[in-house]
Structure 1
Amino acid sequence: MSLENMAFLHLLNLPDDVDKYMNTPTHTYVQDSKAMARTAVDVEEFPDSYIFVADMPGLKSADVKVQLENENVLSISGERKRKEPEGGKFLQMERRTGRFMRKFSLPGDADLDKIGAACQDGVLTVTVPKLPPPEPPKPKTIDVKVS
């Protein structure tokens, strides 16, 4: 794994480390604290791509927005809404609701023009292909002039 990719993965874990010590929701970039809902995302690296996987139970594709911001920031956002029970009331509410947003800085080898996203069975999968590695420069032969 390259040094750049190791730094990228370390930065992904930084908000979790801050959360552990400060007990604050750094993953969520929403001003309304009552609407915050933390969404865990797994990030996997393969030789040809990066894969972001998030559980989105009860959400449809239309409820989730995947965007590329500032040229290399992947943003996953949306809102989980709670339906009030008809003719009843909640005795306990444990499932998170509200708006959520996660942002990830993509590494330099990400192919930003070919990002794809699919939501199936409540699981969002965002695929970020890698650019092919650059070809090593070929030596250039310089003609030697005889005088």
Structure 2
Amino acid sequence: MSEKPQPFEELDELIERMNRQFGELSRTFEGGSVLSEIAVDVADTGDDIVVTADLPGFAEEDIDLRADRESVTLSADSESETVDEDANYHRKERTQQSVSRRVPLPQEVDAESATANYANGVLTVTLPKLDPDAAGGHEIDVE
């Protein structure tokens, strides 16, 4: 009795091999100098929308923060260099980190009145909500 070919089994094996290889590649980037994503929390506190983002290893001046009525865009770039000198050798190590994320907001905000605080690797952005009645203009009576 001959065995039937199993094309889907071969395809499953190929997909598994690719997943393993991509997993190894992503671990290389995570352990090296590239972060893939900024972890964020978005909270509604009543009058404000508060976005909290983890940005460990960055200085305040490395962070670029932009907001509009519907989203917040966070990005950070940092480059550091370590020099270790000894009588027999000279070694330089450089690391670069670059992250960026656009965070959609659940409600329109007043971006011009936003405030931000960065402490211990955590960025906190407070965005006052727009009054839903005022955000859409004014009502016009029809006669």
Question: Are 2:66 and 1:67 aligned?
Answer: yes
Aligned-partner Cα distance in 2 for 1:48–1:131: 9
**Aligned equivalent of 2:98:** 99
**Aligned equivalent of 1:37:** 36
Whether the aligned pair in 2 keeps the contact of 1:36 and 1:97 (CA below 8 Å) is no
Aligned-partner Cα distance in 2 for 1:134–1:124: 30
Q: How do 1:1-147 and structure 2 match up within 5 A? A: 35-68=34-67, 72-84=70-82, 86-87=84-85, 97-134=96-133
Percent sequence identity is 26
Shift of 1:127: 0.8
Which of these two proteins has the greater Rg computed from alpha carbons?
2
Shift of 1:125: 0.6
CA distances 1:104-140 after superposition (whole Å, capped 9, x unpaired): 12344322221111112221111111123538xxxx9
Aligned-partner Cα distance in 2 for 1:50–1:108: 8
Higher relative contact order (CA 8 A, sep 6+): 1
Query: Taking structure 2 as the reference length, what is the TM-score of the superposition?
Result: 0.54
Quick check: which one's strand share is greater?
A: 2
Aligned-partner Cα distance in 2 for 1:82–1:43: 30
Aligned Cα RMSD in Å?
Answer: 3.6
Give the unaligned 5+ runs of structure 2: 1-21, 27-32, 135-140
| Count of equivalent residues | 102
Whether the aligned pair in 1 keeps the contact of 2:52 and 2:122 (CA below 8 Å) is yes
Query: Taking structure 1 as the reference length, what is the TM-score of the superposition?
Result: 0.53
